[in-house]
Amino acid sequence: MPDKRPSDNVKLAMNYPQEEEFGFMNCNPNSIYNFCYFPKNFQNYYDRAAHNTGLSKNEIELIAIDYIKLLKKAQIVSGKSQIIVKSPINTARIGFLNRNFPEAKYIHIVRNPYSVYLSARKFFTNLLPTLWFQEVSPDAIDAMVLELYTRLYEDYFRQKDLIRNRLIEVRFEDLEESPLDTLRKIYTNLEIKGYEGALPAFQNYISQHKDYQKNTYLISENEINRINNQWGKYIKHWDYNIPKNIKVSA
């Protein structure tokens, strides 16, 4: 595998933390990430993963069995009593997670939607051709990014009251600018022990990545209008504007 992610040059290795959905994808046929092979069917894979649309009772039960088994394996390998998992599709399946892990705590990191659009488009544009059995156009990738984000947040806002007392929402930009303060806030709000013990590791990680340079992007007025039309209410809800690392072209 490459030593950096092609979309943003973040270091990549087999022993680094990674989305559990990639593991789930290899043990259950109803993972959202199957759309990487068949991107024309992304709505179908999303509906199956987030809402269990069209699945039998046995298939739905197997999703929970396989997912729990995967996390148990991860917990054994890590040797820790508590593990952290992170996959974008979890934004949409809070009900499923709450049923199976009633004491779980949740961190939702929201990022500037304009950055999300450009970053996700670049990621899928680079990734999909290496995996797909169905070739799709750049316009189709754009449409997919816009629709997936909308679906994820519609499901998130519909379900998040289920975990309101175990949920903290933080801005990616705050984590980026003041990582230690943001991490302390997470530990405090969710009543997680161990911040002081973990602090040296946090400081070391931040020091190692202090020279990391973010991508810069160019966006057109037409793209801005399209994002505003489809994601306007989320941009307003989170109170975002076009960030400084994105330049607007005519």
Domains of the chain by range and CATH? 20-249 (3.40.50)
Higher pLDDT, 247 or 41: 41
- What is the arithmetic mean of pLDDT over 77-101? 93
pTM: 0.91
Residue 146 is predicted with a pLDDT of: 97
Which of 70-74, 152-156, 176-180, 210-214 comes out lowest in average pLDDT?
210-214
Q: Which of 224, 250, 249 is nearest to 112 (CA)?
A: 224
User: Tell me: the pLDDT tens digits for 13-28?
Assistant: 888 888 999 999 999 9
Residue 3 is predicted with a pLDDT of: 83
Higher pLDDT, 78 or 91: 91
Give the pLDDT band of residue 131 (cuts 50, 70, 90): very high
List the beta bridge partners of residue 218. 247
User: Tell me: the pLDDT tens digits for 27-60?
Assistant: 999 999 999 999 999 999 999 999 999 999 999 9
Q: Which of 25, 11, 183, 212 is nearest to 107 (CA)?
A: 183
Percent residues over pLDDT 90 in the chain: 82
Kindly tell me if the per-residue pLDDT of 228 is higher than 80. Answer: yes
Kindly tell me if the per-residue pLDDT of 6 is higher than 70. Answer: no
Residue 246 is predicted with a pLDDT of: 86
**For tokens 């022990």, what's the residue?**
193
Give the pLDDT band of residue 154 (cuts 50, 70, 90): very high
Q: To the nearest whole number, what is the mean pLDDT of the chain?
A: 93
User: Tell me: the pLDDT tens digits for 174-223?
Assistant: 999 999 999 999 999 999 999 999 999 999 999 988 877 777 788 999 99
Residue 7 is predicted with a pLDDT of: 67
